[in-house]
Structure 1
Amino acid sequence: MTDSLQIPEQWLSLLIGEVADVIAGGTPKASDPDNFAKPETQIAWLTPADLSKYAEKYIAHGARDLSAKGYEKCSAKKMPTGTLLFSSRAPIGYVAVAANEISTNQGFKNFVMPSKIEPSYAYYFLRSIRDIAESMGTGTTFKEISGANAKKLPFILPPLAEQKIIADKLDTLLAQVDNTKARLERIPEILKCFRQSVLAAAVTGRLTEEWHKKYSTNHEWQTVSLGHLVESGPQNGVYKPTKLYGSGCLIIRIDSFYDGLIADWKELKRVQLSLSEIEKWQINKGDILVNRVNSIEYLGKSALVKDLVEPVVFESNIMRLSLKRGLAKPEFISLFLRSPVGLEQLRANAKLAVNQASINQNDVKSCMLDLPTLEEQTEIVRRADQLFAYADTVERQVNSAFARVNQLTQSILAKAFRGELTEQWRKDNPALISGENSAKALLARIKEERAAQAPKKRTRKKTTT
């Protein structure tokens, strides 16, 4: 397996078991709370869950410690500072360096490295071979690397001085990657706030303030109820038992729309209905759908029906309303219902129950809004759509950049362990990678160190009779 890794001629391609001791962990009976203690109070102890969202290189403790009793009752062992803590199941490949003496559960294969291997270098190398480690896992319920297979993981050994240079370069480069990630991760929330500000500006007049002064000086906005603008509805949708789902007419459910639009027509479910039922609950282009029952954070979400691919009905947790087109554009009312102004009114009337809330038809009809002329509504919708399109473009660019950044970490690690990051350094420092400083000489010293630390075999004295 190590033969597949392309490395400089001054490096050695080994198995990790040739340079490290592989030690598993253990867990005492979980049913006895006395086996455990609060973190940082007794014996530090890790599970793979402690590393699942852990981004730092060094770790000092997990979510809980082992008590002295728990430690004595299980096979966990105290790992020395600098040990590579490597999760071997559920999932495989999380890694951190022990910042202090620490133990782990049986979901780890821990690599106790000799003093002549730089812990940071080994940490980054193990991160780079996660895919290899996962491929070596076995098992049906979940994959796990056995102790024997853990020893067969590849390990690349450069000269010690170069290990430190590689680790330092990776510290710098990956910190830059992490900073870029952090900035990208903030952008979706910024875009969410931007879209909300557009909606608020659209329905309060700020979006077309200059336009209004120029083109609509004699037409002030009129305060009306939403019910005043409704041609038909709000109407609750159709309820059918689960057994009737699978074939028939397309049906929109509460998970079918978000952020003002039907998400994906191809993902809609089908339900068996009579022709009269389809006629009663069929939606039309320009209808607005409002979610009437949901958790409070999703209650009142709405969608404008812009296009229809075939007859579609809507389920009972949704209301449908059709508007008087001579008074209001559906696109403008959709902006209102999605805006903080509209949602606040809808949710203010919510009836709360366990894990859900609801609104009724009167709650929707009683919402008050300021209504501009149809001409200004058209201009508001045009400007809002333009701004939303801009936000969508930025979001696509951010998602693309995020995907590239995620690939960048593995690309940098791969370059590091092909020797590309230190190619010039090797040319400039031949004395630090040859002779007594070579990887071969380093391996010899590592073997001497491990042999000296290995427990002596007991021998029996011969007895004479």
Structure 2
Amino acid sequence: MKVKNRLGEKLGDDWVKGVLSDFGQVVSGGTPKTKVPEYWGEDILWITPADLSGYSEKYIYKGRKSITHLGLKNSSARLIPKGSVLFSSRAPIGYIAIAGNELCTNQGFKTLIPSEALNRDFLYYYLKSIKQLAEGRASGTTFKELSGKAFAELPLCVPPLPEQRAIVSKIEQLFSELDNGIANLKLAQQQLKVYRQSVLKKAFEGELTRQWREQQTDLPDAKALLEQIQVEREESYNEKLDEWKRAVKEWEDAGKEGKKPTKPKKLKKIEPFTETELAELPTLPNGYGWTRLGELHHLKSDKHTGSGESLFYIGLEHISKNQGTLTDEVKIDVINTVKNSFKKGDLLYGKLRPYLNKVYLANEDGVCSTDILVFESIPSLDLNYSKYYFLSYKFVNDMTHNSSGVNLPRVSTKYLQEYPFPLFSLEEQQAIVTEIETRLSVCDKVEQDIEDNLKIAEALRQSILKKAFEGKLLNERELEEVRSAPDWEPAEVLLEKIRAEKAGSGKKGKA
């Protein structure tokens, strides 16, 4: 009669069906009292699930901590031999590694010491394939944990040893090919990041628009541009001042009820670069020059007091890194604390490290975190141009290295407003944005294709494991080869050996 796997699918006649405890000894771990120094030292290697966080190797040899023989004796930790397979049973469930030498674990593991009839690598890959099944059998309210009994009763179907080895060999061959493909995809990802920054660097040096510029006949120079910008800033301030005067009059006519409207802050004069400072900056095309960021960008100070209204809210977590876009999590929210207000067309910039690569050009009115600066545009400045400049590598790197603070480092508004900004005509700013977006749209498409292929690769990895433990990974020729191996034995003999081994060993005392 053919054996069926955990999905009810038929396996070969040579497979044995059982549970984990049929094929080895299940061992739990423990932790010595942390307040007893004598329990902690360099005698015995001790592993916790935290040691496997981000760990991708098959074998583990040591953890961050070790315990003494006294600590072992006075805890529920057990020495487990080399070749035992560790499975984390909580926080989280499903970290897996093979003991590369004798060691012990804390209570966050259930370990199977495999019998001689079970290949440890076969068991390792099998446990990787049933992580979701194990999670489904865990219990608990605060956090899920897989009990020793539940772990011991996880299903396992085992073929003869030669077939186990052949399955492991085939898995590792296919995984190696898959890993090479994944490595190439990740290399392409890194190359695209370099390309993206190269595009931005050349854009703000005027390289991308050189041909466009050569075709123009009447472009203003930097001096004329700066004079025009200063006039526009003054006009913008005077408009706000007139609006404030009207608001004050309405407030007075209404009997001075509520808070008096806040007078707009007078424009702060920003000192231009000296000749010495300009000489240290990269050369720009003839007619253009460097100015201070604050001369072009008006930093708004409008606040929303947090009156319990439902408003469109943007936090730092809602702005995608290096993309200039919002995440899907952004939404209308009830605002109960003070926030910065912004209008459609304003530029939002995260000033908190490590979020100094988060920029967004608002498509709507709303409020945002006070750790997001809000810049207002002027007619001679395209804030799309500014957005890409804020995302350039040098800008992000300089902001990062000039932020200050212990727990939550921030970039100062003074440093930001005095930072160099390449001043091109409005027409060329728009041409630069077009050139950037043409190139980056292709880049975005390729990056999405890479992401899709990485997901496909991970799904293929799971498919390989699924086929392996359904008995479908080896072809007929490979199966014939394993059946001619000198240590091949039929399923009945294998099962009897396992039973005899377990009966002969009995219960072992604590090592």
Structure 1 counterpart of 2:248 = none
SS of aligned partner of 2:375? strand
* Equivalent pair of 1:221/1:373 in contact (CA under 8 Å): no
Give the Å deviation of 1:165. 0.6
* CA–CA separation in structure 2 for the residues paired with 1:200 and 1:129: 48
Structure 2 counterpart of 1:8 = 12
Compared CA separation, residues 184 and 447, structure 1 to 2 (3 A): same
* Equivalent pair of 1:225/1:365 in contact (CA under 8 Å): no
Structure 2 counterpart of 1:240 = 305
* Equivalent pair of 1:22/1:151 in contact (CA under 8 Å): yes
> Which region of structure 1 is more displaced relative to structure 2, 247-256 or 195-204?
247-256
> Which region of structure 1 is more displaced relative to structure 2, 74-83 or 446-455?
446-455
SS of aligned partner of 2:374? strand
Give the Å deviation of 1:339. 2.5
TM-score of the two chains, using structure 2 as the length reference:
0.76
Q: Residue 304 in 1 paired to residue 366 in 2?
A: no
Please show how residues 10-159 of structure 1 align to structure 2 within 5 Å: 10-37=14-41, 41-159=42-160
Counterpart amino acid of 2:202? A
Q: Residue 372 in 1 paired to residue 432 in 2?
A: no
* CA–CA separation in structure 1 for the residues paired with 2:328 and 2:303: 19
Q: Residue 446 in 1 paired to residue 498 in 2?
A: yes
Structure 2 counterpart of 1:174 = 175
Q: Residue 294 in 1 paired to residue 352 in 2?
A: yes
Structure 2 residue corresponding to 1:222, chosen from 263, 277, 288: 288
Compared CA separation, residues 300 and 175, structure 1 to 2 (3 A): closer
Structure 2 residue corresponding to 1:338, chosen from 368, 391, 416: 391
* Equivalent pair of 1:26/1:105 in contact (CA under 8 Å): yes
Counterpart amino acid of 1:163? Q
SS of aligned partner of 2:305? coil
Give the Å deviation of 1:317. 3.9
Please show how residues 263-412 of structure 1 align to structure 2 within 5 Å: 263-264=326-327, 267-270=330-333, 281-285=341-345, 287-291=346-350, 293-295=351-353, 297-299=354-356, 301-305=358-362, 307-308=363-364, 311-314=365-368, 316-325=370-379, 327-343=380-396, 352=405, 354-360=407-413, 363-412=415-464
SS of aligned partner of 1:441? helix
Compared CA separation, residues 341 and 415, structure 1 to 2 (3 A): closer
Counterpart amino acid of 1:421? L
Give the Å deviation of 1:136. 1.6
* Equivalent pair of 1:329/1:378 in contact (CA under 8 Å): yes
* CA–CA separation in structure 2 for the residues paired with 1:345 and 1:429: 63
Q: Residue 206 in 1 paired to residue 207 in 2?
A: yes
In the TM superposition, what whole-angstrom CA distance separates every residue of 1:190-214 from its partner, at most 9, and x where no partner exists?
4333322222111111222344345
* CA–CA separation in structure 2 for the residues paired with 1:22 and 1:387: 57
* CA–CA separation in structure 1 for the residues paired with 2:399 and 2:144: 49
Identity between Structure 1 and Structure 2 (%): 29
* CA–CA separation in structure 1 for the residues paired with 2:207 and 2:417: 25
Give the Å deviation of 1:164. 0.9
Residue correspondences, number: 438
* CA–CA separation in structure 2 for the residues paired with 1:118 and 1:107: 24
* Equivalent pair of 1:137/1:145 in contact (CA under 8 Å): yes
Counterpart amino acid of 1:235? K
* CA–CA separation in structure 2 for the residues paired with 1:139 and 1:209: 65
SS of aligned partner of 2:303? coil
Compared CA separation, residues 145 and 351, structure 1 to 2 (3 A): closer
* Equivalent pair of 2:137/2:146 in contact (CA under 8 Å): yes
* Equivalent pair of 1:81/1:98 in contact (CA under 8 Å): yes
RMSD between superposed Cα atoms in Å? 3.4
* Equivalent pair of 1:202/1:335 in contact (CA under 8 Å): no
Counterpart amino acid of 1:83? S
* CA–CA separation in structure 2 for the residues paired with 1:189 and 1:33: 46
Give the Å deviation of 1:238. 0.9
Structure 2 residue corresponding to 1:257, chosen from 316, 319, 343: 319
Give the Å deviation of 1:397. 1.2
* CA–CA separation in structure 1 for the residues paired with 2:188 and 2:467: 29
Counterpart amino acid of 2:359? S
Compared CA separation, residues 33 and 314, structure 1 to 2 (3 A): same
Compared CA separation, residues 214 and 406, structure 1 to 2 (3 A): same
Give the Å deviation of 1:49. 1.8
Compared CA separation, residues 128 and 324, structure 1 to 2 (3 A): closer
* Equivalent pair of 1:237/1:319 in contact (CA under 8 Å): no
Compared CA separation, residues 148 and 55, structure 1 to 2 (3 A): same
Compared CA separation, residues 237 and 253, structure 1 to 2 (3 A): farther
* CA–CA separation in structure 2 for the residues paired with 1:61 and 1:52: 13
TM-score of the two chains, using structure 1 as the length reference:
0.82
* CA–CA separation in structure 2 for the residues paired with 1:345 and 1:97: 45
* CA–CA separation in structure 1 for the residues paired with 2:96 and 2:402: 50
Structure 2 residue corresponding to 1:428, chosen from 457, 470, 480: 480
Give the Å deviation of 1:27. 1.4
Compared CA separation, residues 20 and 331, structure 1 to 2 (3 A): same
Give the Å deviation of 1:158. 0.5
Give the Å deviation of 1:137. 1.4
In the TM superposition, what whole-angstrom CA distance separates every residue of 1:236-292 from its partner, at most 9, and x where no partner exists?
231535xx34x344344444434463515872444669xxx99x955133x32334x
* CA–CA separation in structure 2 for the residues paired with 1:349 and 1:429: 65
* CA–CA separation in structure 2 for the residues paired with 1:333 and 1:12: 67
Structure 1 counterpart of 2:195 = 194
Counterpart amino acid of 2:182? K
Compared CA separation, residues 105 and 317, structure 1 to 2 (3 A): closer
Give the Å deviation of 1:149. 2.2
* Equivalent pair of 2:23/2:117 in contact (CA under 8 Å): no
* CA–CA separation in structure 2 for the residues paired with 1:264 and 1:169: 41
SS of aligned partner of 1:204? coil
In the TM superposition, what whole-angstrom CA distance separates every residue of 1:356-409 from its partner, at most 9, and x where no partner exists?
22433x655444333333333232111100111112112211221121122122
* CA–CA separation in structure 1 for the residues paired with 2:193 and 2:62: 36
Structure 2 counterpart of 1:416 = 468
